[in-house]
Structures are given as structure tokens and as C-alpha cells.
Structure 1
């Protein structure tokens, strides 16, 4: 039997045939040894600019990035967060802020409003119903993201109610930000 198939105790490849986890561990350890816990100034500057381009404060952006290990590629709003309570139009102040966002922008529209895409957003979809079970809500949200080829852990949700906060966990999204914090 070839030597690469049989791994001894303590071998970093473990059950991973490609040895990815072992290499990742060694890379992280070597990086910490060289750089310590200090992030280069250029990286911090890039991330501050990226946070501003998303319309986020740096603290929120950095915490989401640290938790997921990914950049935010999309913002997903609830229609409540956008002030679309009785009509499918955005409030002018909120629309102005969203027109400058450098990411995919979507909205989950609560019934009875139609899931039409208001300016300046990129797409719209129906929101999960209040009567949906957890499993149905999860399937619905994951299908919405999959249809747009968005990785769920790179999508930040912005909502206005406790019900909408649950969407984050159901979709396994990057995080949740209250609308008052995002637009405030």
C-alpha cells in the first residue's frame, strides 16, 4: 500500500485525503509567528474603505468579517427596514444611501406588497410568511440566495423586527444589523 494512503497517529491529514486542514493549521501558525496579531495598516485601510462602500461602520464590518472569514458581497433588507410599510417604494433618504452601496442589494418584501424591485435595489423576493415553520423559512431563504448564486455566509441582513432577526439564523447569513443602526 502506498505511503500516502496510510496515515499514522498525529498525521495532520487525518481523515482529510488532501490534507487541507493540516496545511491550513500550519499556514495560520506560521503567519502568527511572523506577523503576530497585528494587521498591516494597508489591510486596515482597505477594510475601512470597504466598510464605507457598504454603508457600514468599521466595527460592524470587522466583526462580521472576523466571524465569517469572508467579505460581505450582498445586503439583504426586509421591506420593513426600508420603510415599505404600505407601498412598494423606498423612503428618499434610505434610497439615497443605498444608491452608493458597492454590493448586491436585495429586499424581502412582506405580503401583501408585491415583490417588485424598487430603485436603487438590484432584486426583490417575497419574504417568508409569519406562519411558516422554521424549516420552511430556512428552505425559502436559502432558495432565494441560491437563485442569485449568493453564498449565505457573505450576505448581511438588515431588518426591523425580531421575526426578521430570525432570518439570519435560518439562512445562515453573515449577520444581522437593525435598520435603525444601518440607516441611523
Structure 2
């Protein structure tokens, strides 16, 4: 039974129609039936894998449930790494987190004016190995150009799109997920565990 549209003065509180508790029960049962019932051993493997690559378990499990695959690569924008100018360096804590991640490829999309090769060398100097780096798509590239640029970078890193998680910073970067059919998007502050700050 669909709920009628709210009229003037309606506070969108719970419906007073009979059967509300039954509908709640049905909703809970249906939701529980959709959730996978994984053996404890599999959950432990997933928890270990999430820690190995530096993701929180909830995010990792969500990506696995959505795609049906394990992750093979992270795609970082230089915005996410807070590398905005040639002289910028990765924060020490962020570099340590990236260097500690095991069993995952690291790909970097360099925003102009940064040169992908220079970014790769600078990160290597901080102990962070990068498997592939290329120019990030921009506004002028359009949907097709964005898709081609991201897929070209993934091909260089030998990573299938639906197994690559984008760690990004901006709404434009979030659009790369749809354009290249990536596994998902995680904001950089969340991935790196940075304290959220108000930016001017």
C-alpha cells in the first residue's frame, strides 16, 4: 500500500493506518533475506583483506557485495593526495598508509599542471610505489574522453575497471566512476582517516 503524498501542514510522521507493525516486520524480514550469510571464516578473510589494503571493513564489504569481486587497485587523484603544485609532497601519515598497503596496485591520475612522471618519481622518493600514472581527465574531455583517459590508465596498470576503487576529492572525480564503470568512490579524507576540516 503506497503512502499518500503529504498535504499542507503534514509533518511526515509515521502513518496512522492500521497494519504499521506488520509492514515493519515484513520490511525487516525482506531486508535480512537480502543480506548475505557468510561463514565466519570468510568474514575473517574479508576483515584481514580490508586491513591489508588499508580500507575499513564496512567499505570493503560494501564494494565486494556490490561488484562481486575483490579489489585489485586503487586509483588516486592528485587532489586526493593533496598534491596541487610541483613542490608539494604527500603528508607523512598518508605516505606511510600507502606504503603499508599490500596486495593492491596504486594508480595515480595527475591533475594539470602536474606531470604524471614527476608525480610518480616524487611518490617513489617518499617510499610509495606507483604502478601507473597518467594525466587526469578534465572538464573539456567530456564523457567519452573521460572514459578513454581512465580506461587508458587502468590498461597501463592492468586493472579491470570493476575491481578499481577511486579515492578522490571532487565531484568531477566522482563522475569518473560512472564514466569508466569503476567499483566505487571513497572520499580521500575517509580513506586516509584525516580529520575533517572546514576549508575556506
TM-score after normalising by structure 2: 0.71
Shift of 1:132: 1.1
Query: What corresponds to 2:70 in structure 1?
Result: 71
Query: What corresponds to 2:92 in structure 1?
Result: 92
SS of 1:180 mapped into structure 2? helix
Tell me how large the CA RMSD over aligned residues is. 1.4
Shift of 1:37: 4.5
Moved >4 Å (runs of 4+): none
Shift of 1:144: 1.4
Shift of 1:86: 1.4
Residues 107 and 157 of structure 2 are in contact (CA less than 8 Å); yes or no, is this contact kept in structure 1? no
Instruction: State the alpha-carbon separation in 1 of the partners of residues 36 and 137 from structure 2.
Output: 41
Shift of 1:140: 1.2
Residue segments in structure 2 that go unaligned for 5+ positions in a row: 1-34, 194-200
Instruction: State the alpha-carbon separation in 2 of the partners of residues 169 and 38 from structure 1.
Output: 29
Distance 1:173 1:37, change over 3 A: closer
1:121 aligned to 123, 129, 150, which one? 129
Please state if 1:105 is matched with 2:82: no
Residues 168 and 175 of structure 1 are in contact (CA less than 8 Å); yes or no, is this contact kept in structure 2? yes
Residue segments in structure 1 that go unaligned for 5+ positions in a row: 1-35
Instruction: State the alpha-carbon separation in 2 of the partners of residues 145 and 68 from structure 1.
Output: 17
Shift of 1:112: 0.5
